[in-house]
Structure 1
Amino acid sequence: MKRFLSVVVVVALLLATSAGIFAADQPYKGTTLRVLLSNHPWTDAIRPLIPEFEEATGIKVQVESLFEDQLSQKLLVEFASGTSTIDVFMQRPLQEAKQFQTNGWYADLRPFAQDDAELDLDDFFPSGILAETVDGVLTGIPIVTEQEIIYYRKDLFEEAGIKVPTTMEEFEVAAAHFNDPANGFYGFVSRGQRAAAVTQFSSYLYSFDASFDVDGVATLNTPEAIAAFTFYGDMLRNYGPPGVLNMSWPQALAIFAQGNAAMYTDASVFYSNMLDPEQSDVGELVGFAQFPAGSAGSRPYSVVSWGVSMAGTSRNKEAAWEFMKWATSKETTLAAQYRQVPSARTSAWANPEGVVNFPAQLVDVIMASSEGSMPYDRPNVIGVGEARDVVGTVIVTAIEGGDVAAAAERANRDYQAILDREK
């Protein structure tokens, strides 16, 4: 009954918003918007509600929903042609924002958003707005976020009388305590595959007071960066499972979900996999904790996996903004988050209706992780795939127990070449 009432409350709020946000004279009535969205839970959450927006505004919304790779390819082809009729589109800022902004494919949302009290830009996680800002241009409004957290076995920590680690030192001590490779059990697991590991390694890099680059200068070879690479490599080599160099998130997650590891660091979005009895043997035993602090404190990434943007070539910018404002409003966001779409709005996480379907411990961790977090989980460059490969070589060397300083020096030169090429 409580869950049913929650749905009623959310829908009622949304209907009230649809009726109240827009002026009665419907200034954009008759406008048709072409909107490209990804096949994603956020799209599934808002799509049934679009008729309410259309009725309230008189704006017709034509939605094209595509798989992630198809959407990216369609955007690239249409925008490059210079004849696109797209008005609004979903995009992945970590993958596309730099390239799209360099090519002039975005409309700057700052003039629309900065003084719009209904949107309330200050309600979004600061890291979300930073991720969507390129060269001072607000390229999108964040809609889906994720943070790096610790997944841990509550039962094991309680039985051992060990507190959940809050520092890197405690993290290693706990991993060493639980590590039992002779019985197929490991203290820690995370991604070790070259490029795939970079995003999850980033939080270690930041927490060790390092970064990929500063003001266009590569910083992979600093003492702080080398310490981060070394720590991550040591953790996986000394306390991780065999074959970790071939593990991206599905393989690493499976090790933990099958009950073969005490701790796992990765994106908060995987909590549902951990709790699903069809995918996990340890669902009721999983705890969530904030990323451990290094010399710079706990500085995990808090990234925008998806945002919604306006095409620079749109001929319906005012109407497009009305749709975007509605789609990212507090009320619509609350409705989406009720369906377990983790949003970038503080108000949704502070509202009981927004967190009722999330584990309470996870909500606290996400809120804490959004403060002082970093907006990028990978090098912020156009050639992000190439850059991830470069950084990943140092991670692999560290896991193998090789010369981390030498590998970092080589990677720094290669990464600097990427940065110089994009200047």
Structure 2
Amino acid sequence: MRLARHLPVTTLAAAIAMSGHAQAQTEITVATVNNNDMVIMQSLTEAFEEAHPDITLDWVVLEENVLRQRMTTDIATGGGQFDVMTIGTYEVPIWAERGWLSPLDNLPDDYNEDDLLTSVRDGLSLDGTLHALPFYAESSMMYYRQDLFEEAGIEMSDQPTWEEVREWAGELHGSEEGLAGICLRGKPGWGENMAFVSTLVNTYGGRWFDEEWNPELNSEAWVNAIQFYVDLLNDYGPPGASSNGFNENLALFSRGNCAMWVDATSAAGKLYDGNESDVADSLGFAPAPIAKTPKGSHWLWSWALAIPASSENQEAAREFITWATSQEYIELVGETQGWTSVPPGTRESTYANEQYTEAAPFADFVLKAIQDADPTDSTLEPNPYVGVQFVGIPEFQSIGTQVGQTIAAALTGDTTVEQALDSAQRATERTMQRAGYLD
């Protein structure tokens, strides 16, 4: 898959060429998610190919849940369908430990590995060795329309609470035609609705497992958090909220159809771009809301580029991922797409670049959110896992997806919150028993 539009970056491409070339006429297949930053990466195909004339790129761009299924199946079976995979902080250490990913040691000196943010680099490493390179990194935050808040006489808190958010959503819902008080992820998936829901549960004082790996999905904290979530979206969310993931809510908010939205910090660049967003001039931002505790209220994630061990084009794939995650690539995007469009959250040099910080008023806020998120201490009560919005064990991909489906059923009214969580608890207990975590 290749975008028809190519940018006039011939002279820039030559300037950012990495040293060395891969073997002649090598085609590499790059699997990536259909998020805005990756669409930009795909649009710069010509820049890469002109700087690396012996390599051509073949793109497979898919919706997040579909992409994960395809890549997981391929890498677990050694299929070798992809040369570069777009994966995240959850998959990298697990897949690296199984020998599924090529280690990324001995990177070129001009790649400047030390420029990578420590928390992001650590999340993509196994035993101190990178097994994926960060394309962009994110935490979560709240976006809101300042014009609506001002008209309603609402003052944003320095640290909003979820009870405040519910009150504000009630005041603003329907105040304009087609306006939802709040937009939140409802589409089921461990990386879709459960990424948000897990942070909500965290701040309500809940956790996925106790220290003995017993699931706690029908605990009081989970029931309170999910009931709040279901009621909030049913009362003040957009129609069809159970079908909305990151991209759907981004589209809604950028069109002005949401008064508030809590989601990834990576959306800020597009929302502040007046060519992409109808609300760029009235956009406000605040920390992700809290309830009982601030712990785990905002996530930590990195979309990264990795090379499966099954790839037969290791050298060419390495050329591509070092190019696409380099400081020079960030500068290329800034110069051709605008500085609010550069991939955020990966390099210290990005946040030292005045062109970026002047164009992106959210830059320091996002950097602090990423640095403050602690995947080793994400819940009020101690837990045995690493992760804020996920649990860093192989079984979580299936557990999180199944729980996401039951919560989506509660959101649509097909079941009650209590029934959904009791079902999720039983299913997760069975999974953990079969996997040997429980007696």
Q: Shorter-chain TM-score category?
A: 0.7 to 0.9
**In structure 1, how many angstroms separate the alpha carbons of the residues matched to 2:106 and 2:311?**
14
Determine the structure 1 residue equivalent to 2:4.
none
Determine the structure 1 residue equivalent to 2:30.
37
**In structure 2, how many angstroms separate the alpha carbons of the residues matched to 1:83 and 1:243?**
37
Q: Deviation at 1:320?
A: 5.8
* Preserved contact between residue 10 and residue 47 of structure 2 (Cα < 8 Å): no
Determine the structure 2 residue equivalent to 1:57.
none
- Selected match of 2:328 from 309, 328, 331: 331
* Preserved contact between residue 390 and residue 411 of structure 1 (Cα < 8 Å): yes
**In structure 1, how many angstroms separate the alpha carbons of the residues matched to 2:52 and 2:357?**
25
**In structure 2, how many angstroms separate the alpha carbons of the residues matched to 1:188 and 1:82?**
43
- Selected match of 1:178 from 172, 193, 210: 172
Determine the structure 2 residue equivalent to 1:3.
none
Aligned-residue sequence identity (percent) comes to 24
Pairing 1:291-330 to 2, within 5 Å after superposition: 291-294=288-291, 295-297=293-295, 299-305=297-303, 307-313=304-310, 321=318, 324-330=321-327
Pairing 1:17-416 to 2, within 5 Å after superposition: 18=17, 22=19, 35-38=28-31, 40-45=39-44, 47-52=46-51, 60-68=54-62, 84=80, 88-93=83-88, 97=92, 100-101=95-96, 104-109=99-104, 111-112=105-106, 118-133=110-125, 138-165=130-157, 166-168=159-161, 169-180=163-174, 185-195=179-189, 196-213=192-209, 217-241=214-238, 243-249=240-246, 252-253=249-250, 256-271=253-268, 274=271, 282-294=279-291, 295-297=293-295, 299-305=297-303, 307-313=304-310, 321=318, 324-336=321-333, 338=335, 339=337, 340-343=341-344, 344-354=346-356, 360-373=360-373, 377-378=389-390, 380=392, 381=394, 384=397, 387-394=400-407, 396-397=409-410, 404-405=417-418, 407-416=420-429
2:285 match: secondary structure? strand
Q: Deviation at 1:394?
A: 3.6
Q: Deviation at 1:204?
A: 1.8
Change (3 A) 1:419 1:132: farther
**In structure 1, how many angstroms separate the alpha carbons of the residues matched to 2:230 and 2:411?**
4
**In structure 1, how many angstroms separate the alpha carbons of the residues matched to 2:109 and 2:89?**
27
**In structure 1, how many angstroms separate the alpha carbons of the residues matched to 2:356 and 2:187?**
35
Change (3 A) 1:50 1:259: closer
* Preserved contact between residue 33 and residue 320 of structure 1 (Cα < 8 Å): no
Q: What's the Cα RMSD here?
A: 4.5
Q: Deviation at 1:411?
A: 1.2
* Preserved contact between residue 160 and residue 286 of structure 2 (Cα < 8 Å): no
* Preserved contact between residue 206 and residue 300 of structure 1 (Cα < 8 Å): no
TM-score (ref. length: structure 1) = 0.73
Q: Deviation at 1:53?
A: 5.3
More helix by share: 1
Q: Deviation at 1:95?
A: 7.8
* Preserved contact between residue 296 and residue 388 of structure 2 (Cα < 8 Å): no
Q: Deviation at 1:392?
A: 4.0
Partner letter of residue 281 of structure 2? E
1:308 match: secondary structure? strand
How many correspondences in the alignment?
Answer: 398
TM-score (ref. length: structure 2) = 0.70
* Preserved contact between residue 186 and residue 243 of structure 2 (Cα < 8 Å): yes
* Preserved contact between residue 85 and residue 306 of structure 2 (Cα < 8 Å): yes
**In structure 2, how many angstroms separate the alpha carbons of the residues matched to 1:254 and 1:332?**
26
- Selected match of 1:417 from 415, 420, 430: 430
Structure 1 gap ranges (5+): 1-6, 55-59
**In structure 2, how many angstroms separate the alpha carbons of the residues matched to 1:376 and 1:174?**
27
* Preserved contact between residue 131 and residue 376 of structure 1 (Cα < 8 Å): no
**In structure 2, how many angstroms separate the alpha carbons of the residues matched to 1:74 and 1:234?**
34
**In structure 2, how many angstroms separate the alpha carbons of the residues matched to 1:364 and 1:37?**
31
2:44 match: secondary structure? helix
**In structure 1, how many angstroms separate the alpha carbons of the residues matched to 2:295 and 2:216?**
19
Partner letter of residue 218 of structure 1? P
**In structure 2, how many angstroms separate the alpha carbons of the residues matched to 1:126 and 1:10?**
33
